[in-house]
Chain A
Amino acid sequence: MGKVFSRPEKMGIYRRRVIFEIEALGLNSIGLTAIISVFIGAAITLQMSISLESPFIPQYLIGYATRETMTLEFSSTVVALILAGKVGSNIASEIGTMRITEQIDALEIMGVNSASYLILPKIIATVFFFPFLTLLTIMIGIIGGYTIAWTTGIMSPDDYIEGLLYDFVLWEVIYSLIKIAVFAFIITSISAFYGYYAKGSSLEVGRASTRAVVVSSITILIFNLILTQLLLT
């Protein structure tokens, strides 16, 4: 880790690589997370409307529950688990392939700090960009819920919006953004570690990629508990 965070050879090159990684790891993940968010938001609204079907429970609570679920857990933890699969395996296999095809050795021979050159831009890109993905998934999930409420008539859109605004606490959004930034670091550093130390053949790269996803996911779940305890209680 010390090698990763050591002083870069040329700042300009690293800036270019960060922009490249934002596109490769961040922008290219928008489609997947958006599709999942819209369906999850819609499903949560549907499930809540079925579960809370009672004349004693106000309808706006369905909107409230959708917002809370999307903000507190889905947009950070579940999205992070999805990204651990997509981005984590991508990072581990990319760096692992570079290792076994001697591309990392070639960088080292040039005098480049390969760990810093390959990994640091990815960490900066994901820690910076994943919070935007979280905000986007919250919004899209809520829109998904609104759309299902409006198209199926299970509740009035006005009640849904009232629920969205009910007892809104900004800290919950900030909590979610802090979590995803920590998860971004976990996904990128663990996946890069497994890729960087891959040995042998393409079979080993596949194994490194699988290990990276499994270890990242478990670490995310553990840190989810720790951060919730620290930030919400």
Chain B
Amino acid sequence: MPPTKEFLENLKKTPERLRESALRVGKLPETDRERSQSTFHNLFLHVQSVRTHRNSLRFAYTFGLGLILTASFVVLTITGILVMVYYKPSTDLAYQSVKDIHFVVPAGRFIRNIHRWAAHVMVVAVFLHMARVFYTGSYKKPREFNWLVGLALLVLTLALSFTGYLLPWDQLAFWAVTIGANIASSPREVTEALGITRWFDIGAFQKQLLLGANHVGQEALIRFYVLHVAVLPLLTAILMGVHFWRVRKDGGLSRDVTAEPPPALIRGREVQVFPPTKTYGLMAVVRGRTPVVGRAPEGSVPSWPHLLWAELAVFAFTIALTLALGYWFDAPLKEMANPAIPENPAKAPWYFLGLQELVSYSAFMGGVAIPMIVLIGLGLIPYLDRDPRGVGKWFGGPEGRRIFWVSLVVGLISVVALLAFTVQFGWLRNWFPSIAQLAIIALNPGTVIVAIYVAWSLWTLHRTGSIRMSAIALFTCFLAGFIVLTAMGSVFRGPNWQFYWWPSQWPVH
């Protein structure tokens, strides 16, 4: 063949060969077998297994919450990079640059709105996802460690939200940094009361670590900016990778393995399947635990197309939701930061208002100790509750469902009663003005409600003899407490953190 002709021939074939070389299998797959191979040979698709159990695709089992989280993280990363182009992390310029993004940058307002609302979606979804995983018992062996990874991701999500909403350097931002830094230094309440601050000042250490100074200023803004755009997203992405990896290696989404497997269908026809006699030859060579594949392939369907369609649907839903919210509602931006006057009341976004309510009893207990206790308690759940029964069933069965409802009522009533008492009669400081600070740290509405919940959980343990049931009782109580405290902080607290039935009753000034 003459070289010119060969050249032209190759040029002509280039698009086809480019496609062939890009797809390792060489063409788009047409049969189930080819699709399985494509899944296995593709960097992005091989995160998921070739076949997916049908239970994992049941919407009423997962509500797609993990996927919503992934989708909102993707949306946040993209819109975040876009707003980074114009945002200036300087106390003098930050506020103006956010105003510019809103009013001057083409589509800037829309992109910032999407970023803000996607963050809210992520926070809502992370709580619901945790509740789903808990109530279906999906933290049990072999998924204990992934529960811990999930907890770390919960903390990272909240940290990303916190560091994010203080970047505009408006009134909300400035006072959130101030309050946050002072919560970090609140162990001083204890060291001060014990008189050991001179030797052991962990509070000041933490505060200076966050602020880079003794006062809120430029150093603090840069630190939170670095955390928000680099450190925390990177950690989140890595941990998300670990989370997905473990979901796969721990045998996919949890399911009730005792249940009768649904019939295997090929093109709508029921077929007989046999437990595999020889599988995963390569895996057998690798030492250590092999993936928990259960008794596949009963009840499983090819991931391509079934799982891919489900994922696409959830991604589309999340994007549509954030687009709609971003189109119709503007992300909040308050007045420029004013170090002389906080807003009255100065309220954090809704997901921190429960904490703010707790902090209004004692900074150390509400801001540091109780959150730590809750996190440690959540982290211990899979190691204390080792009962393998009831995995993959909501509440682990009818008894758990009953415990859930009873605990929800107990949790709601006790926290509402305690708040009503506090609003009506005050607390220790109102009765004994000269009471020691340590007494208030130890005994305040926050610690009382934690004690009530723990007592209820222990009583459930005693009555049912099941750690699983007492875990359900405790988790449900804390859920109820979180909801009521959040509602209290959002709706029923007005100027000077006084109780009001409705914001319209707030005094005008």
| A and B bind | no
